Structure 1
């Protein structure tokens, strides 16, 4: 979907279908079962859910054009994070406890955006333009906050003494949640007010003034964005049933559920990031990719922690040794890739190889 020109029909049809599907499924008690009717319901649910997520991101892009950069990419990131929190909380806190889902999803998001998405954007941009520029100052701010957040939420739980790893005690979890929120809040202040110029690549022709549009279109997009987000939240429970049975049917490991949730919520944002790289605006691609990682940890972990504490559910956060190696490797190559301000296809290929290793190890640990 494009944010330019007339509003595409799919941007309002899918949210309407999502609300209608939820109403019909709830009223008739429809659910997913391993049968022909259940498969039809699952296929319809996935198609409508994906379409609604794309619609939400489209309306966020329309609003983003009015408010300009870097607020635009920030709005996209926050919209996707709301969807992510809804899906994780619904699945993790459902009838069948999945205490490690938040950890698996957060780790999958970091690996997908820092290796898969960033690598793909850099590789495509390198093929079209040989080299692309971006703001080193902004990338360094992203990475410094990301490294700290990822370490204290995904690695540190394995080495605490108050509670046996890989979990935090209630006091530790509360402290870490406050710290991550504080870090993310100060980062947003830096990105949007204090040092906005760090996150805008003027050479790419990006403008922070926003594109003019009618107030009517803006109001419609705001309303449909809210409806789209609400529809995804309402269908999250139905989606969790499909994920559970699908994983059981194919014999996939539990961590695959986190990968599925991450892929669902990141797909529309990934399309926007790749499109920006093709237009020689790698800065926007980096804002979308690294911004997603920060928002995922800075907002998802505290939100899920509050839900887990309120409902007295266990929350597993610590990664295993293999995953920690991949995370540290991602830190190292990210520092090398984003430390010069210029990229080429080899940087992109290196990140994509690490992402391929991550996916392979999910199924063959």
Structure 2
């Protein structure tokens, strides 16, 4: 609530250095609050619903932030949706997944998860990323790495359909594919020492989770001018701003995923990582397609050659990681190196 109050007081204002420092501290506290309330809700509803709640909540607010910045930015925001979505995919699939595998395997010998559910999630992410971010580079109906209106509509509808199918698979028909396991084929036992919170407590935490996420994203937008100034002063590309904002927004999911990995619930970490990547594409593309009806500037979605290579390598490595259903620190390290390569190329294209 402090974060939301500070957001109201600072929204749309030029912030001096001292206020930026205060906003940053409250932003960090809001991230921790979001993780706490998400875990309360997750404990009440169980997996895989808990990880779905956090992934969707963060993504919905992230989408609202992207559309708001596109409306304010004019032609300069033509690549904003693409850069933000791709940053989210690389951070989740390589960063969150990689650090979760590394923590889980170092602490418990090997990180064990369900290859059926995780493989289905990765396949969906790969399809969504290719349809939305790769194909626009090669289509010819419109000049530049852009979709025509018909193509953009198809991509938006396809994204919603695939995301809806995945959620139905994860929560209804094949829920057991997404439950934590401690070894191949054995479902993790619930923690008896931690009774589930009451419905009232869970509902309060759900409301406070929404407030915390609004605070995280809104305050991140508030400090973005300072970040932009720092990026420009350092002579870095404008896409670095999107990477920094994405890192801030995805902090709650990162912390929650690492905590789950430490408890030997790596499947929960995988649900968070891949679910966030999927929601980022599946909800952002339809939202920006709808927003393009009244936005006058171009909407550039197609990736450049370097980013397409990184995306392809990420998906190939991800598939090889997922197939065995267990991972060592090596697999986690490989994904983290891919994230480091993406960040280095964002700074030094």
Alpha-carbon RMSD: 2.2
Aligned to 1:41: 19
**Aligned length, in residue pairs:** 343
Moved more, 247-256 or 71-80: 247-256
Asked if residue 338 in structure 1 is aligned to residue 317 in structure 2, the reply is no
8 Å CA contact 1:154, 1:319 repeated in 2: yes
Task: Decide whether the 8 Å contact of 1:206 with 1:281 is kept in 2.
Answer: no
Deviation at 1:76, TM superposition (A): 0.9
CA distance in 2, matches of 1:310, 1:50: 35
Provide Cα deviations, 1:292-325, integer angstroms capped at 9, x if missing partner.
1111111122112222332333221111101100
> Kindly tell me: are residues 231 and 350 of structure 1, through their superposed partners in 2, closer, same or farther at Cα, counting changes over 3 Å?
closer
> d(CA) in 2 for partners of 1:357 and 1:23?
37
TM-score (norm 2): 0.91
Task: Report Cα offsets for 1:52-88 as digits up to 9, x if no partner.
Answer: 2432332222112111111011001011112321332
Q: Deviations over 1:226-285 (max 9, x none)?
A: 333444565465344334333223222111122112101111211111111122111111
Give runs of aligned pairs for residues 113-124 of structure 1, distance below 5 A. 113-124=92-103
Which of 2, 10, 23 aligns to 1:25? It is 10
TM-score w.r.t. length of structure 1: 0.87
Equivalent residue number for residue 231 of structure 2 = 247
> What residue in structure 2 maps to residue 128 of structure 1?
107
CA contact (8 A) 1:68 1:211 kept: no
1:80 paired with 2:63, answer no
Matches of 1:349 and 1:173, distance apart in 2: 36
- Alignment correspondent of 2:142: 163
Partner of 1:11: none
1:179 is matched with which residue: 158, 162, 171?
158
Please give the alpha-carbon distance, in whole angstroms, between the structure 1 residues aligned to 2:199 and 2:5.
Answer: 28
CA shift in 2, pair 1:307/1:208, >3 Å = farther
Closer/same/farther in 2, CA of residues 128 and 233 from structure 1, 3 Å limit: closer
Alpha-carbon contact 2:27-2:219 (below 8 Å) kept: yes
SS at match of 2:28: helix
The correspondence for 1:213, drawn from 189, 192, 197, is 197
The answer on whether the counterparts of 2:39 and 2:256 sit within 8 Å (CA) in structure 1 is no
Matched, 1:191 2:144: no
